[in-house]
């Protein structure tokens, strides 16, 4: 709740004290959670011999996993990390506003030091990055992720060129825009709310607020908070952030609330979490069918959109071209943004890349990957929130989410052939119920890769994602 409030409501001058509050509470929770008596409880419960995939067995396994990670860290380290990540986050907000990397650089350096210290406490077999990745995607290994991303980078760069050539030859190059149009935030809120509710988001157990960086967080079993940001020149910006976060929110609302805070009631990994957001945002929302269905209502709320049409709006949100900002990237170039961040954060963590050299390294690699010059750090290495909060090892889960979402969508369509026609008519319940059964309700019963194998009947790979992109953008 303190973190959510920090992102949505906190007055600027209150930041310093908030960092202390977060540090105190984190340290307190860490001491309680790693006390000797907790170890005793775990041993006693484990001796009862619950079967590994029963609710009790899963809860115990997850409690043990978390305990073993926490107990390796000192309370001093946990408190210091909470303090510096809160300070770092606030420094990042200022640095980004003022386009001045030097404001953020010392905090980034300190967060890297603390992250190395944490990784060394946790231990690792391959490389240090593994220990951090484990916190977001249990079971994933850096070497595998590196190979996957390298393969994808080659395929997607080629695909990007092909799509660019194709769209130059067709109408796709001319998406809808009206420089005179204005879409008041209040009308956007109404539209976003209606679409989110239609997808199945339960507003009696959740809400949407505004923040600098859209996110979803869960404060309790019936309390899921989403955020978005508004641009009055283009209502699709806030809308697609909402569609994305709603995907996360539906997962959270679909977990077994009676086991909130325990393995059986918890999301299994960030990669699986991201598969849900990318599925609703892109496979459902970024389609012609979506706009055919929602066009009449959009027109009622946004008189400024009168010059558009369902086809034009679809082209607008399906446009493919290399761009500076990850969260606004099209589906074809998206994973190249992850390749860049993964390479750089790995180099930062290893000390191969010095903090002060980050902006130059970012700009150089960005130009290689996208053929674009980065004009300033605010739209370069300062654009993402993750590093400001010490979230190193997080980015690869976005690409895993893309791969998983393509696998899941293909499997759902195969099992329910009428699914896509339903989606185009605004019938979202079928897809949601499929996801509830396959992904949401199991919580952390299975590992992420086992959960995916059970849902789709195959071991996850990049092939479904590439097939999906080719079919959608070249088909
Ligand atoms: Zn997400």
Query: pLDDT, tens digit, for every residue of 202-246?
Result: 999 999 999 988 999 999 999 999 999 999 999 999 999 999 999
CA–CA gap between residue 266 and residue 61 (Å, rounded): 12
Per-residue pLDDT for 305 more than 60? yes
- What's the gap in Å between 306 CA and the centre of ligand 1? 31
Which pLDDT does position 412 carry in this prediction?
A: 97
CA–CA gap between residue 400 and residue 275 (Å, rounded): 8
pTM: 0.94
80, 245, 281, 420: the active-site residue: 245
- What's the gap in Å between 96 CA and the centre of ligand 1? 21
The DSSP bridge pattern shows strands 206-210 and 216-220 to be unpaired
Q: What string of DSSP letters covers 4-46? A: HHHHHT--GGGHHHHHHHHHHHHHHHHHHHT-HHHHHHHHHHH
- What's the gap in Å between 3 CA and the centre of ligand 1? 17
Q: What string of DSSP letters covers 84-151? A: HHHHHHHHHHHHHHHT-HHHHHHHHHHHHHHHHHHHHHH--SS-HHHHHHTTTSTT--HHHHHHHHHH
Does 79 qualify as catalytic in the annotation?
no
Which pLDDT does position 178 carry in this prediction?
A: 79
Residue pLDDT, tens place only, 372-425: 999 999 999 999 999 999 999 999 999 999 999 999 999 999 999 999 999 999
Cβ(227)–Cβ(7) below 8 Å? yes
- What's the gap in Å between 444 CA and the centre of ligand 1? 18
- What's the gap in Å between 124 CA and the centre of ligand 1? 27
Token pair recorded at residue 170: 């067709």
Residue 389 CA from chain centroid, whole number: 14
Asked which of 174-188, 193-207, 350-364, 441-455 is least confident by mean pLDDT, the reply is 174-188
Cβ(65)–Cβ(113) below 8 Å? no
Burial classification of residue 112, based on how many CB atoms lie within 10 Å of its CB (0-12 exposed, 13-18 middle, 19 or more buried): buried
Radius of gyration of the chain (CA): 22
CB atoms within 10 A of CB 469: 24
- What's the gap in Å between 40 CA and the centre of ligand 1? 37
Residue pLDDT, tens place only, 313-352: 998 999 898 899 998 899 999 999 999 999 999 999 999 9
Cβ(424)–Cβ(292) below 8 Å? yes
Question: CB under 8 Å to 43, separation ≥6 — which residues?
Answer: none
In 3D space, the residue among 285, 288, 360, 370 whose CA is nearest the CA of residue 335 turns out to be: 370
């Amino acid at each position: 709740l303190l973190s959510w409030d920090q992102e949505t409501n906190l007055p600027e001058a209150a930041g310093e004290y908030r960092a202390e509050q977060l540090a105190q509470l984190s340290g307190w929770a860490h001491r309680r959670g790693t006390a000797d008596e907790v170890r005793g409880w775990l041993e006693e419960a484990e001796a009862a011999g619950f079967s590994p995939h029963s609710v009790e067995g899963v809860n115990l396994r997850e409690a043990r996993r978390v305990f073993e990670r926490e107990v390796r860290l000192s309370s001093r380290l946990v408190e210091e990390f909470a303090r510096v990540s809160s300070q770092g986050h606030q420094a990042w907000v200022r640095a980004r506003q003022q386009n001045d990397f030097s404001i953020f650089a010392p905090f980034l350096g300190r967060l890297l030091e603390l992250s190395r210290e944490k990784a060394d406490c946790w231990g690792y077999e391959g490389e240090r990055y593994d220990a951090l990745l484990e916190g977001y995607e249990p079971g994933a290994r850096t070497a595998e992720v590196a190979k996957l991303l390298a393969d994808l980078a080659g395929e997607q760069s080629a695909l990007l060129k092909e799509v660019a050539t194709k769209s130059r030859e067709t109408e796709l190059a001319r998406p809808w825009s009206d420089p005179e149009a204005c879409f008041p935030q209040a009308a956007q809120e109404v539209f976003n709310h209606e679409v989110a509710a239609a997808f199945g988001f339960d507003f009696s157990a959740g809400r949407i607020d505004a923040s600098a960086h859209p996110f979803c967080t869960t404060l309790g079993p019936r309390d899921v908070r989403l955020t978005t940001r508004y641009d009055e020149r283009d209502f699709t910006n806030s809308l697609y952030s909402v569609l994305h976060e709603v995907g996360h929110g539906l997962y959270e609302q679909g977990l077994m609330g009676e086991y909130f805070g325990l393995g059986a009631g918890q999301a299994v990994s960030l990669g699986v979490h991201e598969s849900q957001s990318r599925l609703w945002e892109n496979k459902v929302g970024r389609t012609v069918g979506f706009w055919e269905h929602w066009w009449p209502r959009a027109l009622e709320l946004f008189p400024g959109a009168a010059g558009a049409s369902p086809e034009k709006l679809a082209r607008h949100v399906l446009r493919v071209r290399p761009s500076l900002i990850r969260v606004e990237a099209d589906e074809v170039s998206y994973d190249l943004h992850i390749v860049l961040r993964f390479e750089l954060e790995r180099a930062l963590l290893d000390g191969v890349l010095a903090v002060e050299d980050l902006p130059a390294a970012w700009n150089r690699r960005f130009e290689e990957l996208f053929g674009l010059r980065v004009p300033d750090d605010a739209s370069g290495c300062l654009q993402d929130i993750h590093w400001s909060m010490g979230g190193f090892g997080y980015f690869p889960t976005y690409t895993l989410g893309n791969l998983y979402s393509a696998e899941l969508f293909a499997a759902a369509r195969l099992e329910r052939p009428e699914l896509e026609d339903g989606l185009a008519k605004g019938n979202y319940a079928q897809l949601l119920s499929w996801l509830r059964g396959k992904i949401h309700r199991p919580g952390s019963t299975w590992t992420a890769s086992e959960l995916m194998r059970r849902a789709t009947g195959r071991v996850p790979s990049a092939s479904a994602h590439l097939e999906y992109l080719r079919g959608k953008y070249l088909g």
